[in-house]
């Protein structure tokens, strides 16, 4: 199997288009992860060296290095979960979506101690469904989805906790993020954030949906993901 610019070619299924976070964002994250990873290794080495030495304050310094190593490792895990864990893909017949289990943010939002839970990466969930079952696709902010989507009870339920959150950072993130929301023929829906996703790859997936299911409504509130030309809908 070969991967190139978000396109996967398999022996059995033809072309698969996978939309993810923009490549330059992922490359920048890889650099940060490498640098922090080296720092973590250094901190572990210094912790071992300090505890094994004869320093009078080795417990204090050694503990400091251990804490630094733990914080660095948590940063790496959170960065990986933010930049590499989610995607949306289409092979022309089916849509696959991988998102965080809280639907919006890459860390645990259910913990009783917010300071601690914010450093716990959210689990991911996988959703798959046929393109032919899609009745509508909306891309935009949560308010755009609320104005336009028809079967949005699950979405409203999931987003309500964030709208009422006392955490201003959480509220701001969910308020402004781009979300893809897909309605299905059985009255259910699927949604996930596509913050910093490669817009061209997302538009390729929209075109694949139109080709397979021309009756599906495509509506975007974000210029970045908008199919501006009629020919885009028919390619």
Q: Which of 43, 58, 81 is at the close of a domain?
A: 81
Q: Which of 180, 182, 205, 183 is nearest to 193 (CA)?
A: 180
Nearest to 8 by CA among 90, 82, 81, 85: 90
Predicted confidence band of residue 230 (pLDDT cuts 50, 70, 90):
very low
Range of 152's domain?
2-21+84-221
Report d(CA 220, CA 209) in Å as an integer. Answer: 14
In a domain, 181, yes or no: yes
Dihedral angle sign, alpha carbons of residues 102, 132, 225, 153 = negative
pTM for this entry:
0.81
Q: pLDDT at residue 146 above 80?
A: yes
Name which of 75, 65, 80, 89 is nearest 7 in CA terms: 89
Where is pLDDT greater, at 151 or 13? 151
Q: Is residue 117 part of a domain?
A: yes
* Claim to verify: residue 110 and residue 214 sit in the same structural domain: yes
* Confidence (pLDDT) at 75: 92
Domain count, the chain: 2
Which pLDDT score, from 0 to 100, does residue 106 have? 87
Predicted pLDDT at 93: 92
Residue 109: predicted pLDDT: 72
The answer on 10 and 113 residing in a single domain is yes
Domain finish residue from 39, 65, 81: 81
For residue range 99-119, what is the model confidence (pLDDT) as tens digits? 998 889 888 777 666 667 777
pLDDT of residue 139: 94
Residues 77 and 130 in one domain: no
User: What is the reported pLDDT for 202?
Assistant: 94
Domain C-terminal end among 40, 60, 81: 81
Does any domain span residue 179?
A: yes
- DSSP code at position 65: H
227 assigned to some structural domain? no
Contact 151, 187 (CB under 8 A): yes
Q: Please tell me the predicted confidence (pLDDT) of residue 171.
A: 82
Q: Which of 135-139, 183-187, 217-221, 223-227 has the lowest mean pLDDT?
A: 223-227
pLDDT band at 158 (very low <50, low <70, confident <90, very high): confident
One domain for residues 150 and 170: yes
Write out pLDDT tens, residues 4-23: 434 444 434 458 899 999 99
Same domain, 77 and 88: no
How many angstroms separate the Cα of 224 from the Cα of each of 1, 140, 172? 30, 10, 20
- The mean of the pLDDT values for the chain is 84
- Does position 226 have pLDDT exceeding 90, yes or no? no
172 assigned to some structural domain: yes
Residue 229 located in a structural domain? no
Beta strands in 82-195 (DSSP E): 87-90, 94-100, 124-130, 134-140, 179-184, 189-193
212 and 92 in contact (C-beta within 8 Å)?
yes
The tokens of 150 are what? 């028809």
Residues 70 and 95 in one domain: no
Q: Tens digits of per-residue pLDDT, 28-87?
A: 999 999 999 999 999 999 988 888 876 667 778 888 999 999 999 999 999 999 999 999
Q: What is the pLDDT of residue 12?
A: 45
In a shared domain, residues 170 and 193: yes
Same domain, 169 and 213: yes
- Work out the burial of residue 106: count CB atoms within 10 Å of its CB; fewer than 13 is exposed, 13-18 middle, 19 or more buried: buried
Residue 123: count other Cβ atoms within 10 Å of its Cβ.
11
| Whether the predicted pLDDT of 1 surpasses 80 | no
């Amino acid at each position: 199997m070969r991967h190139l610019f978000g396109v996967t070619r398999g022996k059995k299924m033809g072309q698969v288009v996978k939309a993810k976070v923009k490549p330059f964002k992922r490359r920048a994250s890889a650099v940060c992860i490498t640098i922090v990873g080296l720092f973590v290794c250094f901190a572990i080495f210094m912790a071992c060296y300090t505890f094994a030495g004869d320093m009078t304050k080795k417990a204090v310094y050694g503990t400091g290095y251990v804490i630094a190593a733990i914080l660095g490792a948590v940063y790496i895990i959170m960065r990986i979960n933010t930049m590499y864990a989610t995607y949306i893909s289409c092979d022309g017949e089916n849509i696959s979506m991988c998102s965080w289990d809280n639907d919006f943010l890459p860390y645990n939002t259910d913990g009783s101690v917010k300071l601690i839970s914010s450093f716990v990466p959210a689990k991911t969930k996988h959703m798959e469904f046929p393109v032919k079952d899609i009745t509508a696709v909306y891309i935009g902010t949560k308010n755009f989805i609320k104005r336009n989507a028809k079967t949005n009870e699950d979405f409203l339920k999931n987003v309500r906790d964030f709208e009422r959150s006392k955490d201003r950072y959480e509220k701001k993130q969910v308020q402004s993020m781009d979300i893809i929301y897909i309605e299905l023929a059985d009255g259910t829906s699927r949604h996930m954030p596509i913050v910093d996703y490669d817009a061209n790859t997302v538009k390729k997936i929209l075109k694949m949906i139109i080709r397979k299911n021309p009756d599906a409504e495509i509506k975007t509130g974000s210029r970045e993901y908008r199919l501006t030309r009629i020919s885009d809908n028919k390619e």
